[in-house]
Amino acid sequence: MYTVDSSIKETDKLNIFSANNALNLPSILRSIKRFEQNFYENNANRTKRETYPLKKELRGKIQQKKLLTKDGVQIDIWDINIPKNNDYVIFCQGISSEKSNPLLQAAYVKILCAGKNVITFDYRGKGKSSGTFSKEGTKYDMLAVYKYLTAKGVPASKIGVIGHSLGSAVAAAFSADFQISFTVLINPFSKASDMAKQFAKVAAMPDIVRKIIQKLPNFLIPLKNSFDNEKSIRKIKSPLCIIHTKDDNVIPVELAQKLYLKTQNNSAKYFELENGEHELNDEKIDCCIDFMRMSGKNS
């Protein structure tokens, strides 16, 4: 499976941070922009070629639909539902995943078994959706999914959201604007500028460039997709759960700890697992389900 690590290695082949940029700050900033652009393009292109067989537990339960966003982009969704059930989870995937990813499918099955329907979708520019990926565009994508559910008669009190990795930012931004049933962030980061510094630790570049990027103030890091979970999380009013793993080598657990400290939600829960690295697994989804059930009892 294609992962964030895979994408970084693929982007490294372009040798974006060449040695002659070392002491030239404007060149370094241009290289950061180019690295970000290629990182997202690599992920988008890979997901367009990536489709996995359906797990038998999902066969016959998926309605595949195309939704038109406010700005005219078509997004491809799966409505995975149990008949006569009006409880839904919107699942926001990581940047390197396409909605048929086997780890995601395993998560859908567990959520269905817990009594919740699932809406999953490819962000614009990824998988079978049209357009070009962008931070602002994901807000329109989420809004289209939300309007689709409410048009079906699903009230906001029956809609929860789960976001993994980059999907945590999509989920958090949505939950900041809408009062829904619950919000779960799995292996989230604090803000994109912190992740740029994290990527600089592992991406191919001269050591002097690496040190310069590490010391840059966050506001100077020129990212087009400047996701900011710290800003979003302050506005989330719904029951909130953050799940992270101590051995995550993509998004360090310290960034999740930093994020949790920014919440102003008295009901927020934080779970730190010993193992599990960055990808989805049964333990993380079981934590989600336990939290969903607890939130349901308290609502």
pLDDT in the model for residue 298: 59
User: Whole-angstrom Cα distance, residue 299 to residue 294?
Assistant: 9
- Cα–Cα dist 127/143, whole Å: 19
Whole-number Å distance between alpha carbons of 196 and 222:
10
The tens digit of pLDDT for each residue in 140-160 reads 999 999 999 999 999 999 999
- Does the pLDDT of residue 265 top 60, yes or no? yes
Alpha carbon of residue 167 to chain centroid:
1
* Cβ neighbours of 118 (radius 10 Å): 25
Which structural domains are found in the chain, ordered by start?
Answer: 4-46+193-220 (no CATH), 57-190+228-298 (3.40.50.1820)
* CA-only gyration radius of the chain, Å: 19
**Residue 138 reports pLDDT greater than 70:** yes
Q: What pLDDT shows up at residue 20? A: 55
**Contact at 8 Å (CB) between 229 and 169?**
yes
Is 47 exposed, middle or buried, given 0-12, 13-18 or 19+ CB atoms closer than 10 A? buried
Residue 271, helix vs strand vs coil: strand
pLDDT (tens digit per residue) in 166-182: 999 999 999 999 999 99
Report how far residue 49's alpha carbon sits from residue 273's, in angstroms, rounded to the nearest whole number: 33
- Residue 50: pLDDT band (50, 70, 90) is confident
What is the pLDDT at residue 1? 73
Write down the pTM of the prediction: 0.95
Q: Is the pLDDT of residue 200 over 90?
A: yes
Instruction: Tell me if 265 sits within 8 A of 151, measured CB to CB.
Output: no
Predicted local confidence at residue 6, as pLDDT: 87
- What band does 17 get if pLDDT is binned at 50, 70 and 90? confident
